[in-house]
Amino acid sequence: MSPLQPTEFEHLAVLAAREVEGLRLELLGGRPAFRPMADGVHSTLTTWLARQRWQQKPEWGLHIGLGLKVGADREGRAVPDGVLLPVGHLLGTGYWAEPDGVLLTAEVTSGGDEEADRRDRIGKPRAYAESAIPVYLLIDRDSREVVVHDRPEDGVYAQRLSVPFGKTVALPEPVGIELDTQQLLSWAAGEGEC
């Protein structure tokens, strides 16, 4: 079976999204994958991130569910949980945007879907670094930590910082904001599993 071409994949992903509510498809490393539908905790964490951004950088938009062309050759397709861009940057863009101008991509682990979580921890950092996205933020529900990847060099992030829920984490430039993760700690305690 020949590998799925990006244009074929894009067509399938758009059709699937129209037919099945919440279904998102991705193409990483030439392999198509389903994104699980976000549960309440996942949505709450994404909303928390959007609120943090709004309070500190209202001139930027955190786009939820935006498709990006990723990888060294832009042959991959990812749907990050959040994409930070200057407001208005996407005007004229179709379903799959180029990563140029993206300041940060963010993912929240699914908490129970091992394959999706592995993509968030391994496949996504590689694809985003290859795309020269300056900062990749992972909110890891299993380890209860925020992981910041930055300084993409030669297809990998040269720097990785893990901060446990409850601490403040500074996101490096060009983002340059601080995230107070205290609320994440209380949600993790209240849920039993975050």
CATH of the domain at 158: 3.90.1570.10
Contacts 24+ apart (CB under 8 A), 144-153: 144/184, 144/185, 144/188, 144/194, 146/179, 146/181, 146/184, 148/172, 149/125, 152/128, 153/129
Percentage of the chain surpassing pLDDT 90? 43
Q: What's the confidence (pLDDT) of residue 36?
A: 67
Q: What's the confidence (pLDDT) of residue 79?
A: 92
Binned at pLDDT 50, 70 and 90, residue 193 comes out as very low
Residue 7 domain flag: no
Residue 80 domain flag: yes
For the ranges 26-30, 103-107, 140-144, the lowest mean pLDDT is seen at 26-30
Does residue 194 surpass a pLDDT of 70?
no
Domain count, the chain: 1
Residue 166 domain flag: yes
Residue 29 domain flag: no
